[in-house]
Amino acid sequence: MINSELHQKIYVAGHRGMVGNSIVSTLHDSGYERVIFRSHEELNLINQEKVEQFFFAEKPDQVYLAAAKVGGIYANDNYPAEFIYDNLMIQANIINSAFKAGVKRLLFLGSSCIYPKHASQPMTEDELLTGKLEPTNEPYAIAKIAGIKLCESYNRQYGSSHGIDYRTIMPTNLYGPNDNYHEKNSHVIPAMIRRFHEAKIQKKDFVKIWGTGKPKREFLHVDDLAKASLFVMNLDKQIYESNVSQMSSHINIGSGQEFSIRELADIIKNIVGYSGRVIFDNTIPDGSPRKLVDTSLINKLGWKSSIMLNEGLKQTYRNFLSLETVD
């Protein structure tokens, strides 16, 4: 990588989140010298005028769009309006403002929930828009699909005339340091870590886990995703374009391994050191029965995940213990 590349100004949207934070760290570790970001207090990404003013003032060369409103099944099911509106506005404002300000390279980070509830497993990129979505996170999924199509549409209309190159990646379920450990609004791994830890401290006889424990999920450490993000962003344009199409340009990012929620609970229980029972509450919806993404394309291009689940969970638990308070 030449020095001029490392000197480019890079804006990471969502730097306080788990994904954005890891991307910022990975960029710094890779030698990038001009990484910029703004807190929500400094820049409300839902405000179109403010976002546009920021882009014209800063003129970044590259954008990593990792900002999003995220949460687990409970949050998605109870706040559908916020999940679709906030994410649509964030994406539209950043992508359109980036284009207006002359940004040539942008990477949009989506989610594997874009695929149909009963998609063939593992889910290949061409499963997109082939069936109905999982109802509990449909608003979030639709927003992420819109983000993919925004990037594709800008590339189709302005790729040749303006030289833009807006790419999209679809990560599987993520975990790692700086996750959200909220009691109800978190994803499955941080939720379990908190529950098992509190049960251990409070000497509870059992821990209740939402759902039947039967669904299978794939998990990817956030640091693996950050490395994959840089890999895809810096992939030679001819190689990238020869492996995707104008109407299907996203690339799956995953670990290639899946575990049942019951298996995951056993792993986290052992890492935390909890000795009580685990009870599954089948009155809570399970979500999709399986969500394993096909990583054949990204693996063929030269990237593979490197952090095994057990190792990553131990690191994540250490991060949880290091927090002074848990909101």
Amino acid at 210: W
Instruction: Measure the CA–CA gap between 220 and 234, rounded to whole angstroms.
Output: 21
What are the structural domain ranges in the chain?
3-179+219-257+292-306
State the Cα–Cα distance between residues 281 and 88, nearest whole angstrom: 33
Q: How far is CA 196 from each of CA 273, 278, 308, 316, rounded to the nearest angstrom?
A: 8, 9, 21, 13
**Cβ-contact 146, 154 below 8 angstroms:** no
Strand residue runs (E) in 61-200: 62-65, 105-109, 165-171, 173-175
- Region 3-179+219-257+292-306: CATH code: 3.40.50.720
pLDDT at residue 3, rounded to an integer: 60
Q: What one-character DSSP code corresponds to residue 40?
A: T
Query: Which residues, in sequence order, are bridge partners of residue 245?
Result: 248
Catalytic member of 64, 140, 175, 317? 140
43: buried, middle or exposed (CB in 10 Å: 19+, 13-18, 0-12)? middle
Question: What confidence score (pLDDT) does residue 326 get?
Answer: 46
At residue 324, the pLDDT reads: 47
Q: Is 168 helix (H, G, I), strand (E, B) or coil?
A: strand
Query: 287 with 73: CB under 8 angstroms?
Result: yes
Looking at the chain, the number of H-run helices and the number of E-run strands are 12, 12
Give pLDDT < 50 ranges for the chain: 1-2, 324, 326-327
- Alpha carbon distances (Å) from 174 to 22, 45, 157: 12, 23, 33
Degrees (nearest 5) of the Cα angle 184, 194, 265? 95
Query: What does the block give as tokens for 301?
Result: 């291009």
181 labelled catalytic: no
**Whole-number pLDDT of residue 136:** 85
What are the tokens at 40? Answer: 């929500």
Q: What pLDDT digit, counting tens, does each position of 252-274 carry? A: 999 999 999 999 999 999 999 99
The model carries a pTM of 0.92
CA distance 20 to 26: 10
Query: How far apart, in whole angstroms, are the C-alpha atoms of residue 276 and residue 23?
Result: 37
CA nearest 226: which of 289, 177, 296, 161?
177
Torsion 42-46-48-51 (CA) sign: positive
pLDDT at 184: 66
Q: Could you give the CA distance from residue 294 to residue 253 in angstroms, rounded to a whole number? A: 8
